[in-house]
Amino acid sequence: MRPFDDIDPGKFIADFFTDYTADLLREEEDPAVVIDRYHTPDIVEVADGHRMDRDKLIAHARPVRKNRPSQRIDVHEAAANGDRLAARYTLHVLQRGKKLDIEVYFFGRFAPDGRMREAHMLTRTVPAGGPESAPAGTGAATA
């Protein structure tokens, strides 16, 4: 079964990142177990030119757990074809009292079991009004 046969791609990507973050913040579980639950062993994520493989994702879990962000995802559009998914969404993050709205352009591939195999993301911070009200050249942030 392909990951997108029975689910809307927008719901899939929102649930994927929401569930992944919630599981990652559960400190009683080894971060490697969480990473492996959501990613294939050969995972490659490139966000704003920064490449992360499985080992780097595991290392990244420590600061995520320390900062304990909460997040909400608004998917504006998403499409899937086979094992590939493309989406544009806004990630609303609250971390240590600071609010961030980040527009994300996501292009990824997923394994038949729904784990992420590859992801390319381009991001930029946007004003509180959302991506449609953002002026050109507002900069980038890594989600």
The pLDDT tens digits for 58-99 are 999 888 888 777 889 999 999 999 999 999 999 998 877 789
Q: For residue 1, what pLDDT band results from cuts at 50, 70 and 90?
A: very low
Q: Would you say the C-alpha torsion 44, 123, 7, 18 has a positive or negative sign?
A: positive
The pLDDT tens digits for 32-41 are 999 999 999 9
Q: In what order do the strands lie in the sheet with 98-110?
A: 50-52, 39-47, 116-125, 98-110, 84-95, 70-81
Q: What is the mean pLDDT of residues 112-130?
A: 89
Q: How many CB atoms lie within 10 A of CB 108?
A: 19
| pLDDT score, position 3 | 63
Beta-sheet strands, E only, within 33-143: 39-47, 50-52, 70-81, 84-95, 98-110, 116-125
Share of the chain above pLDDT 90, in %: 66
CB 92 within 8 Å of CB 73: yes
**CATH number among 3.10.450.50, 3.40.640.10, 3.30.420.40, 3.30.590.20, domain 9-133:** 3.10.450.50
Instruction: Parse the chain into domains and list their residue ranges.
Output: 9-133
